[in-house]
Amino acid sequence: MVPTDSPDREGPTLAERAEREPEAVDLDAIARRATGAEPDRRAAAEALRAIAARAPERLDDAIQTLEGLLRDENPAIRSEATITTERLTQTRPETVAPLVPALVDRLDDRASTRYTALSALSAVAPVAPGEVVAAVPALEDDLVSEVADVRAKALTVVANAVSVEPEAAAPLVPRLLDVLETRNDADPGSGRQVDSDDVRSEVVQGETTVRRQTEEARAQAARTLVTVARARPDAVVDAVPRLGSLLAAEETVPAEVALVDVLASVAGERADVVRPTVGMLGELLADGSTAELRGTAARALGNVGAEYPDQVESVVRPRRDELVELLGADAAHARASAATLLSVVGDVDPDGYRSAAGPLVARLEDETATVRGSAALALGSIGDDRRIADLRALAEDDPDEGVRSAAATAIDAIRAGQH
C-alpha cells in the first residue's frame, strides 16, 4: 500500500509510516516532498518529526531538508521543523550545528516557535559555541524574562558564545547586571492559599526550583560578565557604579568574586573609574570569606594602586597583616596578587612593609613563575638590601626569563637606593 496524505486515498500517511517504520522511510522521497506544494511540505515536516522521535540518527542525512523546512513560508511548517530540530538536539546536538542560522531566524517567529528554537540553541551552544554567537543580539529580552527557564536557556547560549567571542555580549552588560539584581526574597508558598499538604508541598517544591534556577542564572551572568570584562574592560566601564552597589549588597561568594574580578579588569584600564570602590575592596581584602575573594580584591587594589598608590596604601595599611598572610594562600593567583599589591604599597612606605620581606623571600621558591616574579618585584620595592643574595640567585638560575628579569630589576632598585 502506497503512503498517502490525501483524504481521498487509502493507506497510511507519510508521517504514520515514519512513526511505524522510521528505518524504512525513503529520505530522498521526503526531500522531494519538502520542496513541493504546501501539503507535501507539511507531510515532509511531520515525517521528519516522527523519525526524530524514533531514529534520530537517520536525520544526519536530512539536515539540508530540515533547514529548508525551518525557513518555510508557512509558520506551521516552520514550527514543526523547529520541534524536530529541538528533539534532535536531545541526542545529537552536534548534528544540529549547521542549522543554527535558521534557528536564529526562528527567534523572530511566534512565541511557541521562538521558545522551541531557544531550547534547541541552548542545547547546541555547549558543543558549538562559535555557531551560536549570531544568536546573542536577539536574546536581550530573554535574559530578563519573567520565566526562569527562558532566562536560563538564554544565559546558556550567551555564556557559551562569549567563551569564543567575548565581544558578542558587550552590548548585553546592562541586561546581565539586571540578572544579578534578581533576588530570591519570597518565602516558599507565601501569599498562596493551599488546600492540602500535598498542594503545599508542590508549591514549596515549585518555588524551590525557581530559587535554584534564579541563583544558577545569577552565577552564570556573573561568570559571563567576567569573561566580557577581561576581553573588553571598556564595555563595562559605565557599569562600575552598579557593580559597586551590587557588590555591597551581595551575599553569595561566587558572585562576590565575579564582581570583584570585573572591577579588577576595569581597573587595569581605567583605575579612575574603580577608585571609589577601594574602601570596599580593602574590607574584602581583610574580611573576605575565602582566599579566592581576598586574592581577587588584592588584584583589583593592585590595579588601582598603579595609578593611585597613596590612596590604596592608606586602605591597605591597617590590613597589612592580612595581606602578608595571603602570600601563603593555596591559589597561585591569590599569592601573586598579594605580592603585586605589596610591591605597590611598598613603593609608598617601604619601612611600613619591611616585615613582609621574609614571607616574600619564601615565595621566591614558589612553584608558579608569576608568584616568584611578583615576589621579587615586591622585595625591590621594600628595598631590603639583605635580600640581594636571594634575588641574585633567582636572577641567575630561575628557568623563567620573566622571573630572571624581575629579580634583576629588583636588585637594581635596591642598589639604586630608591628606598
Residue 363: which of 373, 355, 353, 354 has the closest Cα? 373
C-alpha cell of 7?
A: 483524504
Q: Which residues contact 398 (CB under 8 A, 6 or more apart)?
A: 369, 372, 404, 407
d(CA 369, CA 240) in angstroms, rounded, equals 32
Assess contact for 96 and 134: CB atoms under 8 A: no
pTM: 0.84
Q: What is the pLDDT along the chain (419 residues), one digit of tens a residue?
A: 345 555 444 457 888 998 899 899 999 999 999 999 999 999 999 999 999 999 999 999 999 999 999 999 999 999 999 999 999 999 999 999 999 999 999 999 999 999 999 999 999 999 999 999 999 999 999 999 988 899 999 999 999 999 999 999 999 999 999 999 986 543 334 444 545 555 445 444 556 777 888 888 999 999 999 999 999 999 999 999 999 999 999 989 999 999 999 999 999 999 999 999 999 999 999 999 899 999 999 999 999 999 999 999 999 999 999 999 999 999 999 999 999 999 999 999 999 999 999 999 999 999 999 999 999 999 999 988 889 999 999 999 999 999 999 999 999 999 986 54
- Per residue in 60-77, is it b (16+ CB within 10 Å) or e — as a string? eebbebbbbbbebeeeeb
C-alpha cell of 377?
A: 618585584
| 125 CA to centre of own chain | 13
